Amino acid sequence: MDKKLLQEEIKKLLKDSTISIHDKTMVKILLPVMDEQTMQNIYDSLTAEKTKMSQLGEKKKRIILKYQMLSENAERAKNASQGKKPQA
């Protein structure tokens, strides 16, 4: 990537990043004077962070669904042991 494209991509990734506002501001301020290798390192780090955050989001969804299934199964078992009809 050329320097201009790297700057634009870094700015896009900074919007969703979980780093502190201070760090985001410092990167934005220093971006025009950074060398290309430093910008590439920042880009790689922010890309890795975005990937990990999306994976955590997917894991959270799976855990929520698993918990819902477990609680529904427990409720059904409780109702069955008390002789109640299952709810739809």
Here the tokens at position 28 are: 């934005």
Mean pLDDT, rounded, for 56-79: 90
Query: Number of structural domains, the chain?
Result: 1
Note the pLDDT tens digit of each residue in 18-42. 999 999 999 999 999 999 999 999 9
Q: Is 59 a domain residue?
A: yes
Range of the domain at 10: 3-82
In a domain, 10, yes or no: yes
Q: For residues 65-79, give the mean pLDDT.
A: 89
Residue 87 domain-assigned (yes or no): no
25 inside domain? yes
| Banded pLDDT at 1 (limits 50, 70, 90) | confident
Q: For residue 25, what are the CA distances in angstroms to 14, 30, 51, 58?
A: 9, 9, 22, 29
Is 36 part of any domain? Answer: yes
Distance CA 43, CA 13 (A): 8
- Whether the predicted model's global pTM rises above the 0.75 cut: no
Domain membership flag for residue 88: no
